[in-house]
Amino acid sequence: MIVPRRLELPWRDPALLAQRLAAHYGAEGLIWLDGDGTGLGRHATLAAAPLAQRCCRGLPGSAGALDPFQALRQLEPGHWCGWLSYEAAAWVEPAAHWKAHTMACLWLARHDPLLRFDLIERRLWLEGTDPDRNDELAQLVEAEGPGPEPGQGDALPLEHWRWHSTSEQFAAGVQRIRAWIAGGDLFQANLTACCEQELPAAASALELYLRLRQASPAPFAGLLIGAGGARGEAVLSASPERFLQVSATGQVETRPIKGTRPRHSDPERDAAAAAELVCSPKDRAENVMIVDLLRNDLGRVCVPGSVQVPQLVGLESYAQVHHLTSVVCGQLRPALSWVDLLQACWPGGSITGAPKLRACQRLSALEPVARGPYCGSLLRINWDGSFDSNILIRSLLLQGRRLRAHAGCGIVADSDPHAEAEEMGWKLHPLLRALS
């Protein structure tokens, strides 16, 4: 375990320092693990100029493809951060239905030093092991005056997004899933849709993320700008969902989200929407089904009897939507690592369905494009070996000039096809409007 030096610095806003770091070191390799200033989103982490990187591409059997889970097992100690794509599941359960994505399946970067923020108490620390690099970053942080003026970039008109599935096609996909459920093939499946826009010039991922976080703050948000083998690729996330957290002593937590309603500016309508969600038998059943799936996943690698559900179907409210969230905990077996847990649970049950592997197969037949990092995870391995990750929902994928956005809905036996298509809009349109 590495123990970095920790130095408290004068408070600076994370957005200001993100711009300073990008101007000083270059944006490639910048990581920003963001929060919304609430209990779950109290802390943030920011770093640039990575010292090492790992990148894996392709599916099993393709030329030059590398197993991302093997790469994770071979990481040297340090602070690592990056993304793991949904299709990494092909290395867990090889099958013909997995689609190849052009973005990296795994990209990770090791940073030293880095900046830590307490967004509630407005405190800032530098953490690092090299005195010279620490001093350089401290001077950059402590410099007086504003940071570089961020360019606003071009607005991205809503009408310029090109949809890979229309609302009618999405509703037809919901109907097909309902038929599979009725036939006993599935219990639930999380169907997604995708739209994309070709930007007029090479876009600044940082500028886009500054707009996104202002409109849709979230506790497990973040920005990852690839470098090296993932140059020109970036993930921008406003995710409210934790996937897996593992402490240095092996305590495990996952926080699956199932059930969504839009927020309203009218307090009475907003409260009514929240109450309707809490009382919805369909949404509760959807959430409980995924809790059972995750209890089973955790049970494969946790100490027998340690898997518990301290919160079942609780209401959580964010800037744009209300959600139902459950919490599942356990204790990792002493001989196993967070990589074993990640592999046992991959991909996340809340964005696949049940039974998981059959749901993935059926969804691949309905979804016209690969998901890539969307529905994968933003990963962070800390100095002490602890691990945290989100589910990359409410997220945008940038590759060169192509910006892609996805959204999805959990489909169960009594899902209404047109209501599910409408729910997809609740989730996706706030992201698109933030950039317009």
What's residue 150's pLDDT?
56
What's residue 144's pLDDT?
81
CB 61 within 8 Å of CB 120: no
pLDDT in tens, 19-46: 999 999 999 999 999 999 999 999 999 9
The residue with greater pLDDT, 156 or 114, is 114
What's residue 155's pLDDT?
84
Residue 173, CA atoms < 13 Å, CB-side half-sphere: 28
- Identify whether 316 is a catalytic site residue: no
75-89, 317-331, 364-378: segment of lowest average pLDDT? 317-331
What's residue 426's pLDDT?
79
| pLDDT higher than threshold 60 for residue 301 | yes
What's residue 153's pLDDT?
67
Domain boundaries defined on the chain: 5-434
| pLDDT higher than threshold 90 for residue 9 | yes
What's residue 224's pLDDT?
98
Assign 344 to helix, strand or coil: helix
What type of residue sits at position 272? A
What's residue 151's pLDDT?
55
**Tokens linked to 203:** 């876009």
What's residue 282's pLDDT?
87
Q: Model's pTM, two decimal places?
A: 0.95
With tokens 């039974």, the residue in question is 355
pLDDT in tens, 81-134: 999 999 999 999 999 999 999 999 999 999 999 999 999 999 999 999 999 999
H runs (alpha helix) in 29-188: 68-73, 131-142, 167-182
What's residue 319's pLDDT?
81
| Omega cis (within 30) before 347 | yes
CATH, domain 5-434, list 3.20.20.60, 1.10.1060.10, 3.60.120.10, 3.30.300.20:
3.60.120.10
Cβ neighbors of 145 (< 8 A, separation 6 or more) are: none
- Among 28, 87, 241, 423, the active-site one is 241
Confidence tier at 347 by pLDDT (50, 70, 90): very high
- Among 233, 258, 367, 427, the active-site one is 258
Mean pLDDT of the chain: 94
- Identify whether 423 is a catalytic site residue: no
Average pLDDT over residues 385-390: 98
Percent residues over pLDDT 90 in the chain? 85
Average pLDDT over residues 312-341: 93
pLDDT in tens, 258-297: 888 888 888 999 999 889 999 999 889 889 999 999 999 9
How long a stretch of residues is the chain?
436
Task: Give which of 368, 377, 320, 327 is closest to 347, Cα–Cα.
Answer: 377
Query: How many angstroms separate the Cα of 326 from the Cα of each of 173, 239, 257, 292?
Result: 27, 16, 7, 11
What's residue 147's pLDDT?
61
